[in-house]
Structure 1
Amino acid sequence: MMDSLTEAVLAGAPAEVLEREQVPEQYTAAHLRAEDVGMFNDGGDKDVRRSIRVGNVPMPELAPDEVLVAVMASAINYNTVWSATFEPVPTFGFLKRFGRLGGLAARHDLPHHVIGSDGAGVVVRAGSAVRSWRAGDHVVVSCVQVDDQEPATHADAMLGAGQRIWGYETNFGGLAHYSVVKASQLLPKPAHLTWEEAASVLLTAATSYRMLISDKGARIKLGDVVLIWGATGGLGAFAVQLVKAAGGIPVGVVSSESKAKVLRALGCDVIINRAETGLGRADTPEETIEQGKRLGRIIRQEVGEDPHVAFDYIGRATFGVSTFVVRRGGTVVTCGSSTGYQHTYDNRYLWMNSKRIIGSHAANLQEQAELNRLVAQGKISPVLSTVYPLDEVGEAARLVQNNEHIGKVGVLCLAPREGLGVTDPALRERIGAAALNPVRSI
């Protein structure tokens, strides 16, 4: 039976009604159980459908600087897969360390972990110290929680030791009917997007923004040639759009013709299909150099020069090639390693050619706000490919685990169906369906 607060949210009730309705004692959430941590020790398939549970969990207490959000939709990120496979480490260790800080941080150390690091929804409660948000506000949620009393946070939130990724290093994540977040995680929901579209953008798009556009990343400029590995993944598809918007030349690498079609829809200038060009995994120094030379020839044939920047979140399978193929003075920017964390590369090509490697993680709130502004203006589009209901979240995560997805995989939480949440239909109509979500139109 649906509780009265949820009924009010779905009815679009005004602030005074939402504030009057009682917060439920339990809510439905996708979560992991501490007792399942060793379930994959048999060495078999680490199928995330076995470890992700959907059911009721207790509603946590709200801290003064926090907001309770009724989550209309969320999305799958690769950290959902890491969480559900308990690799590289079980996330319950993160929750235990967080809980040791004491006070309200102790709430996070529970035998269950509500996962998910994306979300769009409606504010239903605001803590006593919250000034900028009130019940009824439509919001998107940043994945980054910070300690605003830590000095480093005020230089760059991503440098603070107290920075944590919500729903991965904290509890009460976004793959749920409700979520507890800090007020400093919230941004206005782009009014022309549906709940599921809005929920699929912020984590990956803002990560790509910091990597490419921010002064903390590669800081690309007009005319830069940018090599983008995995160009139809969540990160890569936003990277293509950002490079185009910045006046650069995206060179997208994909593994199939179907993914190449998606890149064409995104307007990618140069498309390299690994299956057609003989590019494969480089496991030895010799293979790395051979693959780098082959890729370099292809890029020079297409654009006449070597790339200024390599956008790499693939990791072990590509990193050595990235450091080889960028031009003298070029940059490799990395935010992850989906094929393995231990990278090898020939350092001669780095130091002798004055290249740079930049590590980049998520994005600070200002960078996320700048990205969200571009989305709200219709200059950056969602890359949503498919949507699952919350009770099938295991299937959604499995799709990402097996790399069978394109763009982002959305999850409906409280939203009863797709297509809801648009409050600026005129802008949506001006942009048009194909341009609004080019990946799904394919």
Structure 2
Amino acid sequence: MDDLTKTVLSGASPEEIERAPLPSHFTAAHLRVEDEGVFGDSGDIGDKDVRRTLHVGAVRMPELAPDEVVLAVMASSVNYNTVWSAKFEPLSTFRFLRSYAKQGGWATRHDQPFHVLGSDAAGVVVRVGSGVRRWRVGDHVIVSPAYVDDQEAATQSDGMLSEAQLAWGFETNYGGLAHYAVARASQLVPKPAHLSWEEAASIPVCGGTAYRMLVGDRGARMKQGDIVLIWGASGGLGSYAVQLVKNGGGTAVGVVGSERKAQIARKLGCDVVINREEIGLGDDPGEDPEQAVKAGRRLGAIIRREVGEDPHIVFEHVGRATFGISVFVVRRGGAVVTCGSSTGYHHSFDNRYLWMRLKRIIGSHIANLQEMTECARLFGQGKIAPVVSRVYPLAEVAEATRLVQLNQHIGKVGVLCLAPEPGLGITAPGLRARIGEETLRPLAIQ
């Protein structure tokens, strides 16, 4: 263990942290460029097991840019973009790093023969660049994955509209699944003081994304009384979507894939829970718009039977397997808001139900810094609870990612980086006691 790590874990003062030397290397979950062709070259077009390409080992610490901080990462979590990265799909993320490096200057540091992954992080600031104004060594923070150029005009309106916007730890190097990470100061948000490190690390990607999709003024702009259909209501995104709908006075209708996941969705607050087998989603209707319409009719009938109306909003991230159903089932004038396509990017749907019924499709991606801050504030007030179900040590990150790859998880899968055990990092125990452990842990950590 290096001196800086020892200093941080001892609870030392900011002055002591600054005096401890920054290590030249640190342990990180990473890909290696020589593995880029491992699946294609072997002819393995079936199960692209992420455990074959995810490595944990030492990488070199980069030089710090003026607008950046070095973070001692206490905890991170697994997102589906880590699965994509480890499968080198739809593109090798080394292509992203090479493309970014062509900008020159500080961007060239990202083009390395390794790629440190991870788009979530919670930890302690241990170094600040010369241009950082609002953050200090010793601050406890979470990291937004929105990596933007704050000197670009569009960023002043909405960081997610920036042409230079990248997903940290996916399209950039030095992400959060590591002992140390490098992030821009414009990515930082104060850590909710009553949450543990692993709980706080579960917020940024899924919590921020769900907030922008449903609540933000560039998303579906959910209002009180809205009926919201949520695909994957027990997963990371879905678990936060359910809570945001209920907190905002809406009716949450969740779709899940098993009775175990149905129980979780109900516990999170779903008013109605539907097993996808009830609507014939055992077979993929994604390629056939007629099959999607038939499945949509079955789903719509169930929703109307249970709540009396069609949904105002469909919360979409599954993609190819469900998108045609989503477009059909949302009410006239309603909105399908989408942030991803975990089952495939090429969507087929009957466009008549979109244009003739005046429906909208809204694309959404991560969240801007203001949205992320507003989302974290809800966690800070105890209005939204973390959804960590399991925690792995960094050494077992490949197994954690495999769990997500196979969709065998519920909620969020946490990863302890420098934190030696779960439950650390709570600096407002009184607030935590007032909110209550049962409220804060709707999914018991296994």
- Inter-partner Cα distance in structure 1 for 2:216 and 2:149: 22
What letter corresponds to residue 159 of structure 1 in structure 2?
L
**1:155, CA displacement in angstroms?**
1.2
- Inter-partner Cα distance in structure 1 for 2:50 and 2:250: 38
TM-score, with normalisation over the residues of structure 2? Answer: 0.98
- Inter-partner Cα distance in structure 1 for 2:401 and 2:11: 30
What letter corresponds to residue 284 of structure 1 in structure 2?
D
- Inter-partner Cα distance in structure 2 for 1:210 and 1:113: 28
**Is residue 2:327 matched to residue 1:323?**
yes
SS at match of 1:40: helix
**1:263, CA displacement in angstroms?**
0.9
- Inter-partner Cα distance in structure 2 for 1:131 and 1:151: 20
RMSD of the alignment, in Å?
1.0
SS at match of 1:5: helix
SS at match of 1:375: helix
**1:279, CA displacement in angstroms?**
4.1
**1:3, CA displacement in angstroms?**
0.9
User: In structure 2, what is the equivalent of residue 26 of structure 1?
Assistant: 25
User: In structure 2, what is the equivalent of residue 35 of structure 1?
Assistant: 34
Alignment of structure 1 residues 12-91 onto 2, 5 Å: 12-41=11-40, 42-43=43-44, 44-91=46-93
User: In structure 2, what is the equivalent of residue 405 of structure 1?
Assistant: 409
SS at match of 1:418: coil
- Inter-partner Cα distance in structure 1 for 2:390 and 2:361: 34
Aligned residues between the structures: 441
Gapped runs of 5+ residues in structure 1?
Answer: none
Gapped runs of 5+ residues in structure 2?
Answer: none
Alignment of structure 1 residues 153-164 onto 2, 5 Å: 153-164=155-166
The alignment-based identity, stated in percent, is 66
Alignment of structure 1 residues 249-398 onto 2, 5 Å: 249-276=251-278, 278-280=280-282, 281-282=284-285, 283-398=287-402
**1:141, CA displacement in angstroms?**
0.5
- Inter-partner Cα distance in structure 2 for 1:165 and 1:295: 34
Q: Is the 8 A contact 1:117 1:165 kept in 2?
A: yes
Q: Is the 8 A contact 1:115 1:175 kept in 2?
A: yes
Equivalent position to 1:93, from 92, 95, 101: 95
SS at match of 1:70: strand
What letter corresponds to residue 411 of structure 2 in structure 1?
G
**1:376, CA displacement in angstroms?**
0.7
**1:441, CA displacement in angstroms?**
6.5
- Inter-partner Cα distance in structure 1 for 2:384 and 2:66: 34
SS at match of 2:95: helix
Higher mean displacement: 84-93 or 264-273: 264-273
Q: Is the 8 A contact 1:434 1:441 kept in 2?
A: no
- Inter-partner Cα distance in structure 2 for 1:206 and 1:324: 27
- Inter-partner Cα distance in structure 2 for 1:364 and 1:239: 17
What is the CA deviation profile of residues 165-188 of structure 1, one whole-angstrom value per residue up to 9, with x for unaligned ones? 110000000000000100011111
Q: Is the 8 A contact 1:279 1:295 kept in 2?
A: no
What is the CA deviation profile of residues 141-176 of structure 1, one whole-angstrom value per residue up to 9, with x for unaligned ones? 110110111111111100111111110000000000
What letter corresponds to residue 273 of structure 2 in structure 1?
I
What letter corresponds to residue 427 of structure 2 in structure 1?
T
SS at match of 2:221: coil
Alignment of structure 1 residues 221-236 onto 2, 5 Å: 221-236=223-238
SS at match of 2:252: strand
- Inter-partner Cα distance in structure 2 for 1:290 and 1:440: 37
What is the CA deviation profile of residues 256-297 of structure 1, one whole-angstrom value per residue up to 9, with x for unaligned ones? 110011011111111111234544432422211110100000
User: In structure 1, what is the equivalent of residue 150 of structure 2?
Assistant: 148
What letter corresponds to residue 355 of structure 1 in structure 2?
K
What is the CA deviation profile of residues 284-313 of structure 1, one whole-angstrom value per residue up to 9, with x for unaligned ones? 222111101000000000000100010010
TM-score, with normalisation over the residues of structure 1? Answer: 0.98
SS at match of 2:376: helix
What letter corresponds to residue 124 of structure 1 in structure 2?
V
What is the CA deviation profile of residues 1-44 of structure 1, one whole-angstrom value per residue up to 9, with x for unaligned ones? x1111000000100100001100000000000000000011224
SS at match of 2:73: strand
Q: Is the 8 A contact 2:74 2:179 kept in 1?
A: yes
What is the CA deviation profile of residues 300-358 of structure 1, one whole-angstrom value per residue up to 9, with x for unaligned ones? 00000100010010000000000000111010000000000000100000000000000
Higher mean displacement: 60-69 or 146-155: 146-155
What letter corresponds to residue 440 of structure 1 in structure 2?
A
What letter corresponds to residue 382 of structure 2 in structure 1?
G
User: In structure 2, what is the equivalent of residue 6 of structure 1?
Assistant: 5
- Inter-partner Cα distance in structure 1 for 2:398 and 2:281: 32
- Inter-partner Cα distance in structure 2 for 1:298 and 1:434: 31
SS at match of 1:72: strand
Q: Is the 8 A contact 2:388 2:445 kept in 1?
A: no
Q: Is the 8 A contact 2:391 2:445 kept in 1?
A: no
Q: Is the 8 A contact 2:279 2:295 kept in 1?
A: no
